[in-house]
Amino acid sequence: MTAQSPKQAKSKNALVSVKHLTRDFDVSPPWLNRVLEGKKKAILQAVSDVSFEVAKNSVYALVGESGSGKSTIGKIVVGLLRPTSGTVEVGGVDLTHETDKTRIEETRVGIQMIFQDPYASLNPRWKVKDIIEEPVAARGRDVTGLAEKLLEQVGLSAADISKFPHEFSGGQRQRICIARALAAEPKLIVCDEPTSALDVSVQAQVLNLMSDLREEFGLTYLFISHDLTIVQHMADTIGVLYLGRLIEEAPRNELFDNPRHPYTQMLLEAAPKLDGFGREVEPPKGEIPDPINPPSGCAYHPRCPIAVERCKNERPEMKQRDKARVACFLAK
Amino acid sequence: MAKTVKKPVLSVKNLSVEIPTRQGILTPVDQLSFDIEQGKILGVVGESGAGKSMTGNAVIGLLDPPAHISGGEIRLKGKRIDNLEREALRKVRGKEIGMVFQDPLTSLNPLLPIGEQLTETILEHLPVNKNEAQERAIAALEEVGIPAAAQRINSYPHEFSGGMRQRVVIALALCAEPSLVIADEPTTALDVSVQAQIIALLKRLCRERGTAIMLITHDMGVIAETADEVAVMYAGRLAELGPVRNVLTSPTHPYTQGLMASTPLAAKGKKRLSQIPGAMPRLTDLPFGCAFHPRCPIAKDKCRSDPAPTIEAGGGKAACWYVNGEKS
Amino acid sequence: MANAFKDTVIRAWKSDFMWSFRRTPVAIASFVVALLLIMGAVLAPLIAPHNPFDPATLNLMNGFSAPMEPNQFTGETFWLGTDDQGRDVFSTILFGMRISLFVGFAAVAFAMTLGVTLGLIAGYVGGWVGALIMRIADVQLTFPGILVAMLIFGIAKGFTPIDQRDEMAIWVLIIAIGLSEWVQFARVVRGATMVEKNKEYVQAARLNGRRSAGIMLRHILPNVLGPVLVIATISLALAIIAEATLSFLGVGAPPTQPSLGTLIRIGQGFLFSGEWWIILFPSITLLALALSVNLLGDWLRDVLNPRLR
């Protein structure tokens, strides 16, 4: 683990600052169906009032199950989606409200992304050289020798530049994706489930590479994952999402040793353990509710073992509790 | 019934599967042997391309041509099932072996209510009339934890959530009271909390009904919590087989050792994960000798020339020349 | 350099594509037939025994010579006989194919350019732009292609001076046939584009600041060309037949520049007076050309995208 503690990372030291981020999706049936079948307009709030900060040179992990909005947040941060409301600040530039185009463009260059599926994230008709150089070439800058250098940095051979993606295995493709992300000399890399499509032995290689590169280039990662074991290994700070809301945020050890939110506790308990031989878990209650009609108050209350009347009516705010921030009325 | 020598429900001996292709004959499963006893769960783990799904499909007789069983035998409760005619095999498949796949949507017919799919299977394999079948279907749904089963029996698969759908699939696999269930990555498509529910369900059914389960997965954590025995596969071959505690805590095969060490859980605060270099070879160019030797830290000349024998080791079996130290 | 070329050739020969080709007799046969016919058309000025467009070489006395029989007046022998004006049928077929193939290729190129462009835009931009393009395509589909062609032909005729009409005819044909076939391209490309645009490599390009036009051209287009090639081949056969149909109806290639369809129209006048060869041989050629191209297209579809069936 690196030396800096993310707790001291208040504003000054933050590379990314997300404030009250909300994103709605219109998932209504087509207009004609609404008229004929009397269906209502349906809005899915994928991200709901999420605020967090990512300290420079740290790894911030967003964890959550399906429908938690973690990928949506990642896409908003890199600029693939626009927020419905709220702000995203990277390196002091408010990407949602800044009007100076060149400033936005300069900041955007420094934000890269590594995707989940190494098979879909490389254009099958492009040579590796063109793929890796794209972030630089697309902006019309010099790319001499760039691909060769980057390929060696990610543990491939410079001789691979004229090969096509299909000649590589899944792990090697993910290395190519990493090389492409590095080409723009980024400050921030958003990693959206970067190893969930990889086998365990290959996953270890890719995670190690990512750790090495972080040190070498002073990178900051926004790490999106559903896999708590990977997050425990990689992250400095962890934010837990449930149904589009941030419900707990804590430094890594704090979260795993002392989870405060009942949902976090359930997640940690339910995750299979390598030494859990014959472990009998009390299976968690219920399933993730329909995000189009989320429960009132605290979204977790229907499944929560300790919910009280207040949880049904009032949405808990994120409150500082010792080293963590928790959105629960009953958390200590 | 007098209990004599414990006979395994499923016994697989020297099973090989071949696929003839342009590049020659591929063997995705090679000389594989294992047994599953009544009421036990055998975990089959391996990375993609290890041949674990192919093994499951071979047992249930669902290999896609041109893949075919080219050697060995599969016995279900002592009866050979690998050489059955198509019709006889179909009967065995529904009655004696249930199947649970990764994606619950593809294993249910989207156009039929789930109740109809269940009663159809029950009527086909059990000597009951329509009303009894209906009752059994409801009972099966209740058993897998579907609330208000009697009302939901006329619902269609798309009206259920992913986790509930997987429960329906499990009910469907169990409704003819099979002696063996093959579950191929049953929780991979599900969220952590739902996965815990499905695992608990499988374990309970196995315990209460004495069904043998062959659980195919890539997730070591799931194996640890669920399986009694575990078979680790690599490139179509058995790498290691033994009681789950032994294999996971003190693996003998270098591949299992590497695999266990590379999971983030095993890193426990260490900064770097230990890693196995390289990647699983493609079936089209398997290395000579032991298929693992190019990635193996202890490989010697012998490993490059001769396939490793499967020998007793660490309370189970392992396919490695040097599993019990240097000379063997 | 030579070695690299050799490697490429060897790799191509060993590819799945060539392997399937070698294993499909129908594909080989139709490829050979199509190649022979196309070569014949391209090399017509070199290999045709007569120039049917040069009145100076024509001898009316040679009219109605039967195939392989010496003419009763001049004693000359023609392989496939002659027509009423003494033109060698074999030569007219070779030159006729030139017109047919030119119109076919040009019409497909036009349809492909239009269809692929509109399909890419409809698929990538989506929204009301995409909806509008696809509705236009739907409307286009409700008109029979021949009707559209005749309509355009009629309108164009009204605008062109009489002395330029023959020349104009070919271009009108190309546009008319192209317009009736772009929808196929647009639909397939739109579908494929919608699949590709959601893939992560397109997102990677987007976040690296590539513009939409660049993404469409450099990223998506190369990945949707497979099905386009299949449709182009099948469209070529359709275009050749459409051209023949229009010319047969008299709204296509003029008698001064006869295509296969024009030849068949000319020939049908003699069908019942015993000069069967004037219509039979052009018809067989048309059949062989359309069939071989079509079979080749079917095979291509099976190889490149079995799901397109």
What pLDDT score does C308 carry? 43
Distance CA C133, CA C144 (A): 19
Distance CA C194, CA C290 (A): 32
Number of domains in chain A: 1
Task: Give the ranges where C2-126 is alpha helix by DSSP (H).
Answer: 2-14, 16-22, 25-42, 44-47, 89-125
A266, two tokens:
């359930």
Best CA proximity match to C258, nearest among C44, C21, C112: C44
Segment holding A329, helix H or strand E? none
What pLDDT score does A10 carry? 46
Best CA proximity match to C110, nearest among C187, C213, C180: C180
Answer yes or no: do A279 and B225 touch at CB < 8 A. yes
For residues A264 and A240, the answer to whether their CB atoms sit within 8 Å is: yes
B163 pLDDT band, cuts 50/70/90, is: confident
Chain B residues within 8 A of A271 when measuring between CB atoms: 192, 196, 221
Segment holding A15, helix H or strand E? strand A14-26
B2 pLDDT band, cuts 50/70/90, is: very low
Distance CA B234, CA B255 (A): 8
| pLDDT beyond 50 at C87 | yes
What pLDDT score does C85 carry? 76
Q: Is there a domain that residue A161 lies in?
A: no
* CA–CA–CA angle B95, B97, B102 (5° rounding): 130
CATH number at residue A23: 3.40.50.300
Classify A238 as helix, strand or coil. strand
Pairing assessment for the beta strands B41-45 and A324-326 based on DSSP bridges: unpaired
Distance CA A62, CA A241 (A): 7
What pLDDT score does B6 carry? 67
Q: Which residue has the tokens 């010792």?
A: A322
Cβ-Cβ pairs closer than 8 A, A with B, add up to 127
Q: Is there a domain that residue A253 lies in?
A: yes
Distance CA A252, CA B42 (A): 35
B147 pLDDT band, cuts 50/70/90, is: confident
State how far residue B243 is from chain A, nearest Cα, in angstroms.
11
State how far residue A169 is from chain C, nearest Cα, in angstroms.
17
| pLDDT beyond 80 at B169 | yes
Q: Is there a domain that residue A250 lies in?
A: yes
Q: Which long-range contacts (CB under 8 A, 24 or more apart) does B146-154 make?
A: B146/B171, B152/B114, B153/B113, B153/B114, B153/B115, B153/B118, B154/B113, B154/B115
Give CA C174 to chain center in angstroms: 10
Answer yes or no: do A135 and C201 touch at CB < 8 A. no
What pLDDT score does B161 carry? 81
A19 forms bridges with which residues in the sheet? A87
**Sheet of strand B68-76, all strands in order from the earlier edge strand to the far edge:** B24-36, B10-21, B68-76, B79-80
Interface partners of chain B (CB pairs < 8 Å, 3 or more) are A
Q: Is there a domain that residue A262 lies in?
A: yes
- Average pLDDT, integer, range B269-273: 77
For the stretch A170-195, pLDDT in tens is 889 999 999 999 998 999 999 999 98
- C202 or C275, greater pLDDT: C202
Distance CA A18, CA A85 (A): 11
| Domains defined for chain C, CATH in brackets | 16-308 (1.10.3720.10)
C138, two tokens:
């739907």
What pLDDT score does B327 carry? 45
Classify B73 as helix, strand or coil. strand
Give CA A43 to chain center in angstroms: 23
When CB atoms are compared, the residue of A208, A278, A283 closest to B197 is A283
What pLDDT score does C309 carry? 39
| pLDDT beyond 90 at B266 | no
A119, two tokens:
């098979």
Residue of A nearest to C209 (CA): A138
Q: Does C207 touch chain A (CB under 8 A)?
A: yes
Q: Is there a domain that residue A319 lies in?
A: yes
Answer yes or no: do A199 and B199 touch at CB < 8 A. no
- Average pLDDT, integer, range C284-301: 90
Quote the DSSP letter at residue C82. Answer: B
Answer yes or no: do B225 and A277 touch at CB < 8 A. yes
Q: Among C50-64, C207-221, C286-300, which stretch is predicted with the lowest mean pLDDT?
A: C50-64
Terminus-to-terminus CA distance in chain C, angstroms? 40
| pLDDT beyond 90 at C64 | no
Distance CA B62, CA A29 (A): 40
Answer yes or no: do A287 and B164 touch at CB < 8 A. yes
| pLDDT beyond 80 at C205 | yes
Q: Which residue has the tokens 């993730």?
A: A288
Classify C130 as helix, strand or coil. helix
Q: Where are the beta strands (DSSP E) in B127-270?
A: 180-184, 212-217, 229-234, 237-243
Answer yes or no: do A138 and C214 touch at CB < 8 A. yes
CA neighbours closer than 13 Å in the CB half-sphere of residue A58? 23
| pLDDT beyond 80 at C65 | no
Distance CA B97, CA B183 (A): 10
B231 pLDDT band, cuts 50/70/90, is: very high
**Residue B145, Cβ neighbours under 10 Å: how many?**
18
Which of B218, B226, B262 would you mutate first to test chain A, the one with the most A CBs within 10 A? Answer: B262
Quote the DSSP letter at residue B284. Answer: G
Domain extent for A297: 1-93+238-271+287-332
State how far residue A251 is from chain B, nearest Cα, in angstroms.
14
Residue of A nearest to B269 (CA): A233
Q: Is there a domain that residue A315 lies in?
A: yes
Chain A residues within 8 A of B195 when measuring between CB atoms: 270, 272
Best CA proximity match to B167, nearest among B108, B91, B97: B108
When CB atoms are compared, the residue of C201, C208, C214 closest to A121 is C201
Chain A residues within 8 A of C222 when measuring between CB atoms: 123, 125-126
What pLDDT score does B306 carry? 84
What pLDDT score does C133 carry? 93
Highest-confidence range of A206-210, B7-11, C223-227, C260-264, by mean pLDDT? A206-210
Chain A residues within 8 A of B164 when measuring between CB atoms: 287
Chain C residues within 8 A of A123 when measuring between CB atoms: 201, 205, 219, 222-223
Distance CA B123, CA B118 (A): 9
Q: Does C201 touch chain A (CB under 8 A)?
A: yes
Which B positions 122-181 lie with beta carbon below 8 A of chain A? 161, 163-164
Distance CA C46, CA C56 (A): 18
Q: Does B276 touch chain A (CB under 8 A)?
A: yes
Distance CA C126, CA A194 (A): 29
Distance CA B104, CA C177 (A): 48
Segment holding C220, helix H or strand E? none
> Residue-wise pLDDT tens for chain A (332 aa)?
344 444 444 456 889 999 999 999 888 777 777 777 777 778 889 999 999 999 999 999 999 988 889 999 999 999 999 999 999 999 888 988 888 888 888 888 899 999 998 889 999 989 999 999 998 888 888 888 899 999 999 999 888 888 999 888 888 999 999 999 999 899 999 999 998 888 888 899 999 999 999 999 999 999 999 988 899 999 999 999 999 999 999 999 999 999 999 999 999 988 888 887 877 777 788 888 888 888 999 999 999 999 999 999 999 999 998 889 999 998 87
Chain B residues within 8 A of A269 when measuring between CB atoms: 196
Answer yes or no: do C207 and A109 touch at CB < 8 A. no
Burial (CB count <10 Å: 0-12, 13-18, 19+), residue C304: middle
Chain C residues within 8 A of A116 when measuring between CB atoms: 200
Distance CA A325, CA A316 (A): 12
What pLDDT score does A4 carry? 40
What pLDDT score does B88 carry? 85
Chain A residues within 8 A of C206 when measuring between CB atoms: 80
Highest-confidence range of B155-159, C102-106, C149-153, by mean pLDDT? C102-106
| Chain mean pLDDT for chain B | 85
Phi, psi angle pair for A175, to nearest 5°:
-65, -40
For the stretch B184-220, pLDDT in tens is 988 887 888 888 888 888 888 888 888 999 999 988 8
| pLDDT beyond 70 at C285 | yes
What pLDDT score does C193 carry? 94
When CB atoms are compared, the residue of C199, C207, C223 closest to A78 is C207
What pLDDT score does B95 carry? 84
What pLDDT score does A7 carry? 41
Task: Give the ranges where A198-308 is alpha helix by DSSP (H).
Answer: 200-217, 228-234, 252-257, 262-270
**pTM more than 0.90:** no
Answer yes or no: do A120 and C199 touch at CB < 8 A. yes
Distance CA C148, CA C141 (A): 10
Q: Is there a domain that residue A12 lies in?
A: yes
Q: Does C204 touch chain A (CB under 8 A)?
A: yes
Distance CA A250, CA A258 (A): 9
Answer yes or no: do A134 and C223 touch at CB < 8 A. no
What DSSP assignment string belongs to chain C? -HHHHHHHHHHHHHSHHHHHHHT-HHHHHHHHHHHHHHHHHHTHHHH-SS-TT-GGG--GGGTTPPTTSB-TTT--B-TT-B-TT--BHHHHHHHHHHHHHHHHHHHHHHHHHHHHHHHHHHHHH-HHHHHHHHHHHHHHHHS-HHHHHHHHHHHHHHHS-GGGHHHHHHHHHHHHHHHHHHHHHHHHHHHHHHHHHTSHHHHHHHHTT--HHHIIIIIIHHHHHHHHHHHHHHHHHHHHHHHHHHHHTTSSS-TTS--HHHHHHHHHTTGGGT-THHHHHHHHHHHHHHHHHHHHHHHHHHHH-GGG-
Give CA C43 to chain center in angstroms: 18
With an 8 Å Cβ cutoff, the interface of chain A facing chain C consists of: 75, 78-80, 105, 108-109, 111-113, 115-117, 120-126, 131, 134-135, 138-139, 177, 180, 184
Answer yes or no: do A65 and B218 touch at CB < 8 A. no
Phi, psi angle pair for C208, to nearest 5°:
-90, 15
| pLDDT beyond 70 at C2 | no
What pLDDT score does A121 carry? 92
| pLDDT beyond 70 at C74 | yes
C287 pLDDT band, cuts 50/70/90, is: very high
Q: What is the dihedral of CA A49, A55, A56, A58, to 10 degrees?
A: -110
Q: Which residues contact B302 (CB under 8 A, 6 or more apart)?
A: B289, B321
Task: Give the ranges where A218-293 is alpha helix by DSSP (H).
Answer: 228-234, 252-257, 262-270
Q: Is there a domain that residue A126 lies in?
A: no
